[in-house]
Amino acid sequence: MQRNLMLGTLVLGLAGPLCGSTLAAQTKGVLGRDNAAFARKLFEHGYTDLAGSLCRTITDNGASGTEQLEIQALGFELRVREIGRTPDLAARVPELRKVIEEEKAFLDENGRTSVGEVVRTNLPSVYLELAGTLNALLDKEKDPAKNAEFVQLGQQIFTEAKASLSERIKKFAKQLADGTGDQEYARRQHMLGLYNLARMDYQHALLHPLGSPERKELLESALDRFKDFGFEYSESLLNYQGIIYQGLCNEGLGKPEDALIDYEDAVALREDYARDENGQYQIDEELVNVISGATLQRVKLLMRMKRLREATAAAEEFLRTIPGAVYASSGIEILKAKAEAEIAAGDIARASTTAQSLVDIEPQGNAGRIGRELLSRLPVGNLAPDKILALAETSAQKGEFSRALDLCRRAREVARGARDEQEMGGASFLLAGNIYRAQKRWLEASVAFDLAAELHPRSTRAPEALDAAVNTYSEIARRDRARFYSERANERMKALATRYSQHPLAAKAGIWEGRQREEAGDFAGAIQFYEKIDPSSPSYFEVSCRVANATYLQALALAKEKPAESQPLMRKAEDLYGKSIALLTKAQEDTLDTAVQQRLANWIFSARIGLATLLVEVGKPAQAQPVLIEAEKRAGNDPDKIAAVWSLRIQGLQAEGRVDEAVRLFEALLQSNPDAPAISRSAGVLARALDKAANDQLEKDPASKRAEELWRKAAFYYSRSVERALDGSTALQADEVGEVAQRLYVIGLFFNRVPEGQTTFVDWQGELADSELWETTARIYERLEAQAPSYRLAIEHARTLAILGRLAEAETIYARSFDQVALIDPAGKFDMSVVEARPETVSAYLEWAVATHAVGLEQKDDGRLDRAKQIYERILLNTTTEQRLWWQAKFSQIKLLSDRGDYNNADEAIQNVKRRTDPQYDKGRFGFQDKFQSLEAELSKKVFRKK
């Protein structure tokens, strides 16, 4: 409320100048003299975006000299705030260092001005932001070399910042002692300096390992500084922030009881204020945030001390007595800590209530995500079956499919013999079927749907299960082409129509034959059947969309052989889509049944997508865009729907040559709603479009810089598309994520400048120019193997690790894979049944040998080297000189002889290759001419040949 009133007051003050600006067509200086100060007030009150916009407006209108300096100074702080929003911690470091350097350069030129003093005051906070970022990186980073780099940079930063700040403190201390100048200003700067110096000691301590003398010394120094600060500035709000830091210091020094007293002292700040009739302290937002921070640290410490009841009580007291508690800076974290304390104490009922309250606060936001995660962790021993099923749904949404399936089973067990057994059983099997379907485990899904319908026919979910079974069996029939599955789909549809004739889904039986004809490619027959459906039938609305869609598909099929004849059908389909959208929209407006409204909304969406697809196909992509805008409005948060919209939007913009606009639009979507569930799927659509555009560009111009730029963007969006699946916040679709891993691997070849035709470490062991894409690829394969292990995934994972130079890890995976697959028969030949079933096995066999060769050399392990030798010999026995694999194995075999110091035999082997094939080896056909010639030259220095 206070912030809104403040904003209203500030905006009223600006209204006149802004109106003048508009009327005067942005004449210089029209905004007035105090707008830089107004922009700073906006920033200080939390309206960062408004402050930034106003700064740009002032600059565009030609700010005066002093005003421009003020805008520049505020710009530093705006940039630091923006950098703080960047999720990539490593990316923040160079940006913050750049701000520090620019602020120092600014002070060199403007240090004696009042604006220079503002920048000088702000500079310590930038140092602290950078220090905090480095400490956060140290918590996450596992690479010792990178950690050492962060520590070294942190030491440099703190040395520089403390020296500068100490001089500043001395300067203002002297001014205060002398009684000269602006005493109020000097006192504030002296206060800020002392406070920030103490904070620097604390942050500096975190750079050092736990238990180290350096860490202990710095924590003690920080503790003393905060105590001195509190003695001198006891009435300042910063003193209470400092008391929280004292608690953190005491914790770090192994004094939890002292820390607890500190946190309680900070919380006691509220006691100076009256309470209202509800028992809530009448304190403002700043005080609420301080108390919330102290409470959070107090609760966490009590939990670590195993004083769980006290932790819960502390959190409850805060939530009960502080106005707007959950919206305080640490409010959500306090609720989370309370739930965790309740879980640890075994109070599952209370933990469930607390977790659910987080979901209720912000169902689609961060609080909701935390609440659902907590709910999914709850043991289910004493929970009702509907609660267990809710946990199963949460686990499924997070991609924890095994736990979700187990919870479905537990829900059925708990409900056995109960009044709601039929309802819970049907719902749990239906959810299990949907989980299997999400994993594309179609057979398991069909069984689960059948069980829901057959074992629990009185469940309200039974018709839905039968409908899902129909669709699943149809999907299996499309893939398998086995008659059994199509007949089973027919049987399930008859069961739906006869058992639940009054259910809205039963109306689908009336159009089932038309659907089958569509799937068989008989679009004209499907249309004839659909047109027989009576307009009074509940399925007529769906039919209107199906007729339009079948007409479009018929036109597409005809266009391949008779393009001219397909055009009237295309126009007819376009008209039918329009009529269907109008009919469905009116029906949706006329009904109050929310379930019917939702079904109609789905068909409206499908009709719009069909229409947009047609418009793109017939060369009217610009007309498709407004159709897609309407479709997106009805997509909600459904990632599949939004991905469909973005797929067409991108196709349309591509057709118009406006792929860059697609990128800009998607970046705007990211900016406005970065956590939306649809982001991942939509990012994948955009990545594939950019990937294709890069390939097309490269075909036109092999030296194209544009292709490189497009692939950079494609790689970024590919990575973004799997981000949520990898961190477990969404389901991991193995096929889609595996495809992303393959593309990132290939794009990595381009950015590491791997020569054309060389795709694995067998041929290329060059210096890594850009390892990030392959590191992401390796993480994807690791996650995929954990969820759905397979021979192919293991090989691709090992190949990625090997090209990254992580050969020991790769060799272990290769060895494990070939323990499971017997490629070589007793006669030493390739088992062709294995080769036919797993064609990637042969190349992987050579990769295993090369990895074993490298690891054996590094570890001086003759056993490994002998194994590599044996594999090379077997590959040569099974291949000819007309195959690339022969040349790869032959070169590796001779290289192994050379690596083991057997130079004479290696040289003789090279001469044999020349005699058997050609003096120029493979003549560059497979890329081995230069390799053999280089090896031959190397050997010529180590052996004596008879002339």
Structure tokens, 230: 């509190």
N residues, the chain: 947
Supply angle C-alpha 452, 456, 461, rounded to 5: 60
Q: Enumerate residue ranges in the chain where pLDDT < 50.
A: 1-33, 946-947
Q: Which residue has the tokens 């209370």?
A: 350
Q: What is the pLDDT of residue 25?
A: 34
How far is Cα 765 from Cα 438, in angstroms, rounded to an integer? 39
Structure tokens, 471: 């669709």
How far is Cα 931 from Cα 922, in angstroms, rounded to an integer? 10
How far is Cα 885 from Cα 592, in angstroms, rounded to an integer? 68
Which backbone phi and psi does 519 adopt, to 5 degrees?
A: -65, -30
Q: Which residue has the tokens 């904070």?
A: 199
Structure tokens, 609: 């997508």
Burial class for 382, CB neighbours closer than 10 Å (0-12, 13-18, 19+): exposed
Which backbone phi and psi does 671 adopt, to 5 degrees?
A: -65, -40
How far is Cα 811 from Cα 260, in angstroms, rounded to an integer? 52
Half-sphere exposure of 760 (CA within 13 A, CB side): 21
Q: What is the pLDDT of residue 478?
A: 79
| Share of the chain residues as helix, strand and coil, in percent rounded to the nearest 5 | 75, 0, 25
Q: What is the pLDDT of residue 678?
A: 63
- CB contact at 8 A, 45 and 7: yes
> What's the one-letter identity of residue 945?
R
Q: Which residues neighbour 491 within 8 Å (Cβ) at sequence distance 6 or greater?
A: none
Burial class for 560, CB neighbours closer than 10 Å (0-12, 13-18, 19+): exposed
Structure tokens, 413: 């067990």
Global pTM reads: 0.50
How far is Cα 9 from Cα 13, in angstroms, rounded to an integer? 6
- Residue 905 is inside which H or E element, if any? helix 903-916
- CB contact at 8 A, 232 and 249: no
Rg (CA), the chain: 35
For the stretch 532-553, pLDDT in tens is: 877 877 778 888 888 999 899 8
Which residue, 667, 664, 713, is CA-closest to 687?
A: 713
How far is Cα 120 from Cα 123, in angstroms, rounded to an integer? 5
The residues pairing with 275 across neighbouring beta strands, listed in sequence order, are 281
How far is Cα 246 from Cα 232, in angstroms, rounded to an integer? 15
Which residue, 376, 363, 397, is CA-closest to 730?
A: 397
Q: Which residue has the tokens 């980073």?
A: 141
How far is Cα 790 from Cα 737, in angstroms, rounded to an integer? 14
How far is Cα 263 from Cα 295, in angstroms, rounded to an integer? 7
Residue 43 C-alpha from the chain's centroid: 30
Structure tokens, 254: 């192994």
Structure tokens, 389: 């099923």
Q: What is the pLDDT of residue 90?
A: 80
3-class SS of residue 824: strand
Supply angle C-alpha 76, 79, 80, rounded to 5: 90
How far is Cα 687 from Cα 679, in angstroms, rounded to an integer? 12
Which backbone phi and psi does 860 adopt, to 5 degrees?
A: 55, 50
- Residue 51 is inside which H or E element, if any? helix 48-60
